[in-house]
Amino acid sequence: MSRFTHASIVRSVIDIPAELAEAQATYNGAAGRAFIAALPELAADFLNRWGLRLDGPGMNGVSALVLPVVRAADGTRAVLKLQLRDEETEGEPVALRVWDGDGAVRLLDHDPETGTMLLERLDTFRMLSSVADTHAAVQVIARLLAHLTSCPAPPGMRRLGDLAEAMLERTPWALERIPDPEARSMVADCAAAVREVVAEPGDRLLHWDLHFENVLAADRADWLAIDPKPLAGDPCFELWPALVNRFEAAEVAWRFDAMTDVLGLDRERARAWTLGRLLQNALWDVADGRPVEDRRLEIGRRLRG
């Protein structure tokens, strides 16, 4: 079968979700639109190159299209992850190789040029977000984080220290553009907290985005992490996603305490770096012309005590 014909068949089979196309256009502009336009051909290329056949409808987040596949050579059930290469996604296969399936999804193949990955298939019907008991779910995240961050970051990984310095440089610009006095004060306090810890940013391998929807069940393990956006840094920077995802104001202090206990973190450093995550998100809000989200401000209030 010619490549053109194969691509035409894939184009008629895969569905490119409108929300993925919109997100790529919003966040990546022309590069995002070009990525969406090339997706059918890209999928066809890797289905052919890696000897895969489609095995169900695709899934997506805001940045990637994930296709369930079967490897023809040995019947392995896997997923083909197609995404635009950027500074976040470039570190994903590196981190997955370091973890090698221990606490995280296993990487089966990777194309450095496009960032395309073949990953083991987990159970998408058993996501940690479906666990009704949020206390139990937070404990799962904490245990995974404690395990994953025990590894030193490999050379070349993005560094938390560099991100933190850039955030502090950007803060005066943002403060001038936040009209609400309370939000402005909160952002200034977050920056002050980061200044206290930025000189010692850490060297562990961080997932950066471990929330309830990025933890799936598997036959070989109760729970495994997916979709890392890895950094080299302090594990104290890892707590934010489990505070803001499935947000419950009354649970903020409990979740923070539970995670710092399981990870064995210094509570004041954890508070400072978690406020750093609030600062990071606030800077993104301001850059996009939005007010700082209320739930983020509430987390800040409760962490400041």
pLDDT > 80? residue 6: no
pLDDT band of residue 2 (cuts 50, 70, 90) is: very low
The answer to pTM > 0.85 is: yes
* Rg of the chain on CA atoms, in Å: 20
pLDDT > 70? residue 13: no
pLDDT > 80? residue 70: yes
pLDDT band of residue 39 (cuts 50, 70, 90) is: very high
Q: What average pLDDT does the segment 250-277 reach?
A: 98
Which secondary structure element, helix H or strand E, spans residue 147, and what is its range? helix 134-148
pLDDT band of residue 86 (cuts 50, 70, 90) is: confident
Q: Is 209 a catalytic residue?
A: yes
* Contact call for residues 7 and 40 (beta carbons, < 8 A): yes
Q: Specify the pLDDT at position 5.
A: 41
Q: What average pLDDT does the segment 39-50 reach?
A: 94
Q: Specify the pLDDT at position 7.
A: 43
Which of 45, 100, 209, 285 is catalytic? The answer is 209
| Alpha-carbon distances, residue 12 vs 60, 116, 123, 193 (angstroms) | 17, 21, 26, 52
The one-letter amino acid at 303 = L
What's the rounded Cα separation, in Å, for the pair 135 and 273?
A: 22
Q: Is 157 helix (H, G, I), strand (E, B) or coil?
A: coil
pLDDT > 70? residue 10: no
DSSP assignments along 56-105, one per residue? S--EE-SSEEEEEEEETTT--EEEEEEE---TTGGGHHHHHHHHTTSSBP
Q: What average pLDDT does the segment 229-239 reach?
A: 98
The owner of tokens 């010619």 is 2
Q: What average pLDDT does the segment 186-213 reach?
A: 98
Q: Six-digit token pair at 237?
A: 């920077």
Lowest-confidence pick of 80-94, 153-167, 267-281, 282-296: 80-94
Q: Under 8 Å CB-to-CB from 233, ≥6 apart: which residues?
A: 153, 159, 160, 161, 201, 202, 203, 204, 206
DSSP state of 285: H
The one-letter amino acid at 235 = P
* Contact call for residues 273 and 283 (beta carbons, < 8 A): no
Q: Specify the pLDDT at position 217.
A: 97
Q: What average pLDDT does the segment 62-91 reach?
A: 93
Residue from 155, 154, 149 nearest 273 by CA: 149
Q: What average pLDDT does the segment 13-24 reach?
A: 85
The owner of tokens 């996603």 is 241
Q: In the Cβ-directed half-sphere of 272, how many Cα atoms lie within 13 Å? A: 18
Counting residues of the chain whose pLDDT is more than 70, the rounded percentage is 96
Q: What average pLDDT does the segment 262-274 reach?
A: 98
